[in-house]
Amino acid sequence: MEPGGLRRFVRWLYPGMRVKRWLFIAVCGVLLISLGMSLILSVPSIRGFYTLWRRFVFAFLGHYSLAVVFGLAWIVGGAVLIVWGLQRMNRSIISALVPEKEDIAEAIFKSRRLTRGPHIVAIGGGHGLYTLLHGLKEYTANLTAIVTVFDDGGSSGRLRRDMGVLPPGDIRNCLIALADTEPLMRDLFQYRFSEDNELKGHNFGNLFIAALTQVTGDFQRAILESSKVLAVRGRVLPTTLENVLLKAECADGTIVSGESNVGSCGKRIKRIFLDPPSVPTTPEVLRALEDADLIVLGPGSLYTSVLCNLAVEEVREAILRSRAPLVFVCNVTTQPGETDGYTFSDHLEAVFQFLPRERVNYVLVNGERPQEEVLRELKKSGIEPIFAEGEEWDFPGKILEAPLLSPEHPTRHDPGRLAQALVAILLEEKPSLSLYFALHTKNGLKNLKIVRLVSRLGKKALARSE
């Protein structure tokens, strides 16, 4: 059997796959056939043929004990033929419906098992939210991304001005992060036109969502239909469906308008707000926050991707009402133009402008230092790493330090490590989920060991903050 073949076979026997019940029915069918055959064999003319067959077999074997072995071999061989025939029949039918070759057990595993996972709500936008969702989708399908729609630059900004649609860029990134579709479709949605024409700079996924919005007349409906096309594992919801302008008041009193300008103002930001100041969210967002088992804030651009969502008053109030633990994921580095010179404590204080200190239950921060040559390159770009050590903070919650740095991108989190750290927090809050993560996720027992290791690595930091 090829490597991994046994594991894939055993996965068919996992609880909740909705396969064993049909196998049991098939076995019952075989039993009924056997009982029916026994009645037929009781007919005198047929019984005579059966008697001759037995005499021939016993004469050939020469011993009754060998007849038992011979009979069992026939039974096993018949069962193998039944299972093999049913499996090949199912594959033949499925291949006609799904031409692409894929592991059917894996597809059922994702569809059935991960839908029983915890409900996690992630709030943010940009590359940070993409990273978070890309890691968490291996642990649960009950993911909801609440995504900023305040972008006014690049392809999204052009579509917002020219077509009057909400900016789809961050929405598109989240859809891609949660997609289970083939790589070609993901590459298509991320394709950016580079030719020197009117489409230059536009992203195909942005155009697709904008076109669907025009066809359906509803931005949220366009997101839903795009989710179907990409076979998204989870939901992506806009923070609001209103056309809103993000503004910031800087420490020197100047007002900066527009998300793209706020993110590159180069000044310390005193506060951010919306114009108009009061906009509603959607019922789906409120319901997701109410049903959440865990709420994750960040990572991402502090003001223009993360905290801007809390500027929508209904979202902030729903978070305050929710009983789910809230985790703030601190960025691994500062962001030039937006958080120049910010320390770990500065990030916390920015969050506390919107949420009481008591409402933030956990803060997750990277504890892994990049190599010295990487640090030198980052400093040349005006980027500083963010660490909790050596700082004083006034925070009643828990600080969890873990190695979260991406080996490929030293300014970003690693999706797998970040997801494991968040699962560790979930297990601390709800130890009963251990069985789910062990049995119902890919490489569950292995991941559970890693998650516990991550939790142990953070105990020193946890103790320091209590």
- At residue 465 the predicted structure's pLDDT band, cuts being 50, 70 and 90, is very low
Do 343 and 286 lie in one domain? The reply is yes
Q: Amino acid identity, residue 303?
A: Y
Q: Tens of pLDDT along 400-416?
A: 888 999 988 889 999 99
What is the Cβ-side half-sphere exposure of residue 115, based on CA atoms within 13 angstroms?
Answer: 9
Of 70-79, 223-232, 294-303, 320-329, the range with the lowest mean pLDDT is 70-79
When divided into structural domains, the chain yields a total of 2
- pLDDT of amino acid 282: 96
List C-alpha distances in Å: 107 to 68, 102, 114, 180: 41, 8, 11, 10
pLDDT at 3 over 60: no
Q: Is residue 199 part of a domain?
A: no
d(CA 80, CA 172): 47
CATH number of the domain that residue 353 is part of: 3.40.50.10680
* Cα–Cα dist 373/190, whole Å: 32
Indicate if 38 and 136 belong to the same structural domain: no
Q: Of the candidates 111, 200, 191, 207, which has an alpha carbon nearest to the alpha carbon of residue 156?
A: 207
Q: Where are the beta strands (DSSP E) in 61-160?
A: 120-124, 143-147
- Please indicate, yes or no, if residue 250 is contained in any of the structural domains: yes
Domain boundary, last residue among 100, 131, 161: 100
Angle, CA of 199, 204 and 208, to the nearest 5°: 110
Residue 267: pLDDT above 80? Answer: yes
Roughly what angle, to the nearest 10 degrees, separates helices 444-457 and 415-429? 80
Residue 209 lies inside a defined structural domain of this protein: no
Q: H or E element: which one contains 400? A: strand 398-402
Q: Whose CA is closest to 286, among 295, 277, 299?
A: 295
Whether residues 123 and 82 share a domain: the answer is no
Residues 15 and 135 in one domain: no
Cα(94)–Cα(102) distance, integer angstroms: 10
Residue 96 lies in a domain: yes
Q: Looking at the domain assignment, is residue 191 inside a domain? A: no
Is the link from the previous residue into 299 a cis peptide, with omega within 30 of 0? yes
Between the CA of residue 105 and those of 5, 9, 89, 267, what are the distances in Å?
11, 8, 15, 53
Q: Are residues 44 and 125 in the same domain?
A: no
Domain range enclosing 13: 5-100
Claim to verify: residue 367 and residue 261 sit in the same structural domain? yes
Q: Is residue 196 part of a domain?
A: no
CA dist 388 and 399 (Å) reads: 8
Same domain (yes/no): 24, 134: no
* Banded pLDDT at 65 (limits 50, 70, 90): low
- What's this model's pTM, rounded to 2 decimal places? 0.79
Query: Do 130 and 16 belong to one domain?
Result: no
Q: Are the C-beta atoms of residues 336 and 374 closer than 8 Å to each other?
A: no
The rounded percent of the chain whose pLDDT value lies above 90 is 47
Average pLDDT, stretch 214-242? 93
Task: Tell me which of 466 and 21 has the higher pLDDT.
Answer: 21
Q: Are residues 132 and 25 in the same domain?
A: no
Q: 311 and 285, same structural domain?
A: yes
Based on the domain organization, do 364 and 261 belong to the same domain?
yes
Q: With 80 as the cut, is the pLDDT of residue 23 above it?
A: no
* Rounded Cα–Cα distance for residues 86 and 162 (Å): 56
Asked if residue 454 and residue 332 are part of one domain, the reply reads yes
Q: What percentage of residues in the chain have a pLDDT greater than 70? A: 79
Cα dihedral angle (280, 124, 322, 143), rounded to 10 degrees?
110
Per-residue pLDDT tens digits for 412-451: 999 999 998 999 899 889 888 887 777 766 665 555 555 5
Note whether residue 164 is domain-resident.
no
Number of C-beta neighbours around residue 76 at 10 A: 10
Least confident of 102-106, 175-179, 210-214: 102-106
Task: Give the model's confidence band at 105: pLDDT under 50 very low, under 70 low, under 90 confident, else very high.
Answer: low
Residue 106: which pLDDT band, with cuts at 50, 70 and 90?
A: low
Find the range with the poorest average confidence among 193-202, 289-298, 372-381: 193-202
DSSP code string of 308-343: HHHTSHHHHHHHHH--S-EEEE--SB--TTTSTT--
Q: What spatial distance separates the first Cα and last Cα of the chain, rounded to whole Å? A: 52
In a domain, 234, yes or no: no
- pLDDT of 62 above 90: no
pLDDT in tens, 184-221: 888 888 888 886 777 888 889 999 999 999 999 999 99
Per-residue tokens: 21? 């019940």
Over the stretch 383-392, which tens digit does the pLDDT of each residue have?
999 998 776 7
Report the Cα 116 to chain-centroid distance in Å.
Answer: 13
